[in-house]
Structure 1
């Protein structure tokens, strides 16, 4: 049994990859779960409840932590969620694959690689560094068998609340200006969500991946403007931009809790943000969807799921 905690866009992308491989899948979510394929089981529950995690994980072979929660709840809720899932993995002796992002590194010059030290710049970056340390420490102590797969900002089917989410894809479909942050002419690694999912599943299949951090391969790093131009090419229109910088971000934070919390992370959008995935590539090979194809698939999803 393959158990996925979190039924958001990433959890569902992992589900699709597992179904493609013929695996039995159980989705776990704290709130309701959207329509799923009939062969997928699901259960509602809170990962902060260790007893619940032990029960739901008892028949697991692999556990994927793909949970996403609002930024303003990270410090309060994430450590307990991570602890519950680690306990579930320990009780069942299932492999744990933790889907992480790159926030814990903080600001560094040059491409981001797995050996960089953590340099948190605020609450959210500190939380992410702590969550990774919890997983690796539990592995070092022999309590679990785990690997961490890190991905940059993702886009793709089902991804709405992201830098390249509905404020870009939906806006492009409607012929409206896209809303972006920072310097859109800086190179910035974005990963197609199905590639992220494929990499996470690959880690679960490789015992040599355990006990380590891996950057999941993404397609060629280009500027955010270049990606937006690809998106608008699918609509046959020219892009129009509404870009938030400096004081405007502060003002936006007065009205939006998400923007207020996101301000800590804006350093990623004012300098090159390039992810080095050579460790994964050298160890396991590489499979990536070119941005042009990924954008086309994402736009097809948005066309079918317009609000």
Structure 2
């Protein structure tokens, strides 16, 4: 039985922790809140991962540290470097392997299909910092200080996912209300189900071939409209009324919430086709993407369960 440390408490962190314990391992799940799944194999620990000494103590004896931490979106340039540096240092000192959950921002604007060989050429602040954090981890690996790998996921789908689709489209479809989306509706985009991201993270951690490089998580390639319409069909609601937010509308929203202004950096991903090659993950580890209907059926089931759990006001 191996012990692992999962840092973060989002949907993918939870799915990763449960996947590990269901395979017979034990997990120490670290977040500032100390929240997470209730399972005898998961020890929930309230800790700010910036506390390197305390995190090192928690990581001591662990086989793998999974970095799934995610600071507030608009703060990445300031908050990611010290947080990721602390996690890297703790894993190294504890003698654990490090698997990072990454995204596709580091590539910047790309013509054609994106593979792991595509240069990390982002110019936006969030993409630059994510690319730099991978470069720092890879340098530590190449110096022999520890073993590292990164799994880069697309926009998340699924029950518990937090993404543009889940926050805007999914919630509106299930509520049967019109919605404006900060993304083109009919351009193909590569999405990753949170369960598939977790499966990829675990597969990478368990295979000696994985270290010293990045891997693309399995992807479902579709348009916003295709996914929204299929979700509506599975939920037995009307086909959604969708429209695209204008730049002027986003700018107006940004006056109240800094999140909105951050969307301009990734406009090359939301307003152009952005398609990812996940063949290395499939051929090396046999880890493939779930069927879209399976992922959306879980979303519908979770929505029904949430509605049933709300007490009747009457």
After TM superposition, the score normalised by the length of structure 2 is 0.93
Do the aligned partners of 1:30 and 1:44 also contact (CA within 8 Å) in 2? yes
Deviation, structure 1 residue 164: 1.7
Instruction: Give a deviation string over 1:100-158, Cα, whole Å, max 9, x none.
Output: 00100000100111111122232111111111111111101111111111110011121
Q: Deviations over 1:203-240 (max 9, x none)?
A: 00111100011011123x11111011111112222111
Which residue is 1:175 aligned to? 176
1:228 aligned residue: 228
Q: Distance in 1 between matches of 2:179 and 2:297?
A: 17
Q: Which residue in the other structure is 1:210 paired with?
A: 211
* 2:136 paired residue among 130, 134, 155: 134
Determine if contact 1:105/1:116 at 8 Å carries over to the other structure. Answer: yes
What secondary structure sits across from 1:189 in the alignment? strand
Unaligned runs of 5+ in 2: none
**Could you say what secondary structure the match of 1:208 adopts?**
helix
**SS state at 2:150 partner:** strand
Contact 2:103 2:152 in 1 (8 A): yes
Quick one: which of 4, 7, 12 aligns to 1:10? 12
Deviates more, 1:176-185 or 1:32-41: 32-41
Alignment-derived partner of residue 268 in structure 1:
269
Measured in 2, the distance between the counterparts of 1:177 and 1:59 equals: 51
Residues in 2 aligned to 1:305 and 1:266: alpha-carbon distance in whole angstroms: 33
Matches within 5 A, 1:143-162: 143-159=145-161, 161-162=162-163
Q: Hey, what's the Cα distance between the residues in 1 that align with 2:195 and 2:256?
A: 33
Runs of 4+ aligned residues of structure 1 deviating over 6 Å after TM superposition are none
Q: CA shift at 1:35, angstroms?
A: 5.0
In 2, are the aligned partners of 1:136 and 1:146 still within 8 Å (CA)? yes
Hey, what's the Cα distance between the residues in 2 that align with 1:263 and 1:253? 11
- Structure 2 distance, partners of 1:207, 1:174, is 46
Match of 1:67 in 2: 69
> For 2:266, what is the secondary structure of its paired residue?
helix
Match among 27, 30, 35 for residue 29 of structure 2:
27
Contact 1:60/1:94, CA 8 A, preserved across alignment? yes
Alignment map for 1:185-204 (pairs within 5 Å): 185-204=186-205
Q: State the number of aligned residues.
A: 305
Equivalent position SS for 1:2: strand
Q: CA deviation at 1:78?
A: 0.8
Q: What 5-or-longer segments of structure 1 have no aligned partner?
A: none
TM-score (structure 1 length as normaliser): 0.95
